[in-house]
Amino acid sequence: MDITRRNEIRRLVLWGSAALALSLLVEDSWPLLVVTLAMLAFYVRQLLRLSRWLSQHQARNELPETTGVWGKIFDEIYHRLRREEQARETLEQLINRAEDSVTALRDAVVVVDRQGRIEYWNAAAQRLLGFKSPHDKRQTFTNLVRDPRLMSYLDSEDFRAPITLPSPLNESLMLEFTITRFGDGDWLVLVRDVTRLHNLEQMRKDFVANVSHELKTPLTVLKGYLETLLMTVPEEQTRLHRALNQMDQQSHRMENLVNDLLMLARLEGTEVDNQPQVIAVADMLQRHAQDAKALAATLNKTLHINLDADSTLKLRGSSLELESGFGNLITNAVKYTQTGGNISIRWWQDDQGAYMSVTDNGPGIDPKHIPRLTERFYRPDSSRVTQTGGTGLGLAIVKHVMLRHDGKLDILSNLTKGSTFTCHFPTSRISAEPLRKIN
């Protein structure tokens, strides 16, 4: 027991004994009563002072003057309140500092709750997205940034890659939205102004598209003359004939390159058609299988080409793009598989969607190259290119076509064991249109 408490008890005992002694002396109880009442009055007064002080308390208010155990109680409460106040001040400073740094950010920061309503945004969000305080507080995020692409991005709940959209304030401002989930289903939306990057990228695309387009006319002229020369120059002039043949082959290669570049520019630079066609993929693959046989014959190869396609399964998409994508995969199989090899083309569905696959037992690809195979001009083996005269753009085209059809390209391959390229389309791309009966 500490000294203050001991003194208090001692004082109580002393006063009590004195009052008792006096009561015994005068043979009456009034001294005891008077002392008890006086002590009660003293305690009640201290309690009232404490209560008054607490109700008006501010950490800087001086403590009421008192002694003994009451002084100690007052002191203890005072110090606890001071400590709490200091902790609150430190926390407030920390929050203010965090808020100041978020406000100073050039990128917009928006906090959206699980119902999709805006809880917080910084100054950059006002500038980039036009949010106004306090009017827009608790408004639905997608009501303020209205864009069907954002809606479907949010519905997909796949936020691994950011999405780039024009600002709702100014169409020429391109913004990149990165969404991170936190807490109980809330989102942290980071919005970055990528207009400069976007414009540079657009310039690059336009440049490639324009150059490719400009190359088309001179190439056609050259090819025309070469064909005429090849027909008119007598075969006995072997050296000249060989030179003309090589020029003809290279001009064909150049033409393919220009066409592939134009196709890529189209795939990158145009909006996806939101009214897709219904495509009879089995018929399309039938035509490709025929073309593959013709190509094998031109290349002097004997290949066993097998087609297994579900003719009831139709796809919603762009026929031009799928023609090009599937054509590239089938042409590659023919180009790279050695004579006597097998090529199997399949088209089927399961509960995950629809699939088109091309399998060959050709030379295969070292798995270490597979992640980069769809990059433009990436070739694992440059000697194959010289032999086959490819453009190095075929798989980049397939990847873009698949992206535009909400699907993906899977590649399975091993050196010497052959390859399987599978185009996977989501179920949403399968056409539910009833089949028309052809009589």
Structure tokens at 237: 């002039």
Smallest gap from Cβ 381 to ligand ADP, in A, equals: 5
252 binds ligand ADP (CB under 6 A): no
- Give the residue among 168, 171, 175 at the shortest CA–CA distance from 198: 175
295 touches ligand ADP (CB under 6 A): no
Which residues lie closer than 8 Å to 94 by C-beta, 6 or more apart?
Answer: none
- Rounded CA-CA distance 328/260 in Å is 10
**Minimum distance of ligand ADP from residue 101's CB (angstroms):** 46
Is 336 a binder of ligand ADP (CB under 6 A)? yes
Residue 253 as a binder of ligand ADP (CB under 6 A): the answer is: no
Residues touching ligand ADP, count (CB under 6 A): 21
| Residue written as token pair 């056609």 | 220
- 261, 393 contact by CB (below 8 A): yes
Q: Which of 90, 388 has the CB closer to ligand ADP? A: 388
**Pattern 50-79, ligand ADP, x by CB under 6 A:** ------------------------------
At what angle are helices 30-55 and 3-26 packed, to 10 degrees? 150
String of contacts with ligand ADP for each residue 379-418, x by CB under 6 A = xxx--xx----xxxxxx-----------------------
Which residue's CB comes closest to ligand ADP? 390
For residue 60, give the 3-state DSSP assignment: coil
Q: Does 166 bind ligand ADP (CB under 6 A)?
A: no
| 205 lies in the binding site for ligand ADP (CB under 6 A) | no
Residue 360 parent element (H or E): strand 353-360
By the rule CB under 6 A, 296 interacts with ligand ADP: no
* Cα–Cα dist 218/223, whole Å: 9
Q: Quote the crossing angle between the two packed helices 195-232 and 238-269, to the nearest 10°.
A: 150
The reply to whether 328 sits near ligand ADP by the rule CB under 6 A is yes
Within 356-385, the residues that bind ligand ADP by CB under 6 A are 360, 362-363, 365, 373, 379-381, 384-385
Q: Footprint of ligand ADP on this chain (CB under 6 A)?
A: 328, 332-333, 336, 360, 362-363, 365, 373, 379-381, 384-385, 390-395, 419
